[in-house]
Structures are given as C-alpha cells and as structure tokens.
Amino acid sequence: MNLHYLDAALARVHPAWENVLSGASVAPGLQAIDSALAQLSDAGHTIFPPRPLIFNALSFTAPADVRVVILGQDPYHGTGEAMGLSFSVPEGVRIPPSLRNIYKELASDLCSGQPGSGDLSGWARQGVLLLNSVLTVEEDKAASHARLGWQTVTDALIDTVNRDSPGCVFLLWGNYAQGKAERIDRARHLVLCAPHPSPLSAHRGFFGSRPFSQANAWLAARQRGTVSWCHAVGMSDLF
C-alpha cells in the first residue's frame, strides 16, 4: 500500500496482520482514511494517538495468538493520553476514570495493592488485543473520527481473530462493544458482556462481573495458559 500518514504506524504492525490490512476489503478504505488524516494534519489539526502508535494494538501479537480481546470505542482525546491501546494511557499519565474502575474490578477479582500506572502494554504482550473500533481522534473532540471509515478496518481485524484464534475471550463492555457480538463464533470463543466501566454505568453491573478470573479459567481449561493481569500492571495476586 502507498500510504503517507499511516506509514510509520504500519511499519510497527506484526507481520501476521499485514495480509488483513492489505486485503481487497480493507485496503481501499484504509487508503481513504490515510488521505483524510493527511489533509487534517496538513490543515493544522492535532490527531491522537501519535502517528507511530495508531496500530499499536497490532504490534504485540499475531491474530492466532490472541487470547483475550477488550474492545473500546475510540482513543482518548486529551493531550498525551492515547497510545493506541484501548483504555490504556502511557506511564506517568493520570489514570482516566474508566480505567480506574477497571482496576477496581481487577482488585476485587484477582489482585491486591495499587496499579503502578495506566499503561496496559503488559497485558498486550500476553496476547490481550486492546482494540478500539475507531483508531484516531482529533484533540479535545471525542468521537470526531467516528465517520472516517475505521469501523470497516477494525471489523476485519475482529473477524480475523474470530477465524484464526483457536479460542479466546471477548470482553464486551457497554452497548457499543456488545454490538460486535454477532461477529463472534460462540462455539469457539467465550463472550463476556457487561456494562461499560465508565463512572456513568459501572455500578449497573460492571462491578462484580469478574471478567478477569472468568477469562483465565476459560483459557486454562483449553490449555491456552492464563493472563498475568495483576503483575503486568504492578499489582499482586490475591491467591
């Protein structure tokens, strides 16, 4: 593909995703997104995450090695927050409210102590695909790129995991993420739905849903190992 704005991001993608992004159903849309982002950037708009991190979720593991998928909607739109992983912020950045609630549920479910940071790269390195449905956003304008065409790209990524992973857990938090459930083969994968961890909805059933222990139990039963949820964010196991 001959891309301009997205070239640095594509250079960091795990090779196993390249056929998806260059496929006939995805490449034309990606080309259109690239042109739109280049025009916005040239016009002086600030776009998050930084260009090399737009496909960060795809840099850690191949589709066949994905063990858990956590779907978000679009990146954080504050300066320095978005890093190309859903719900994650870089080391040293204040932990956003939804991630704070994710950590509260994690502590209730599996861990003790306080997380060291909001950087979830340690999860990604273990086969947790932290994927937003929309991969870019304009500074201080939530959902500003919702109509740019990213959903076609990220739906193809979800479909690839659905097809290539031998069995993984999809954590679908909130109505938007749960709208992707129809794409998932429940005969092969586990789908766990709960309200969004936002302060507006976490008390409606996200708290107490125990997604992390359920995911590990399901993975272990299928000889796919477990995710070290606690240690990867600087917490300790309860047991």
Residue 209 and residue 107: Cα distance in Å, rounded? Answer: 12
Strand partners, 31: none
Question: Please, which residues have CB within 8 angstroms of residue 87's CB and are 6 or more apart in sequence?
Answer: 70, 72, 96, 98, 99, 102, 120, 130, 197
Residues forming the active site: 74
Cα-based distances in Å from 62 to 14, 59, 185, 217:
6, 8, 19, 22
150, 158 contact by CB (below 8 A): no
Taking a C-beta distance cutoff of 8 angstroms, is the pair 146, 137 a contact? Answer: no
- Among 30, 157, 135, 129, residue whose Cα is nearest residue 74: 135
For residues 161 and 36, give the distance between their C-alpha atoms in angstroms, rounded to a whole number: 27
Structure tokens at 126: 């273990």
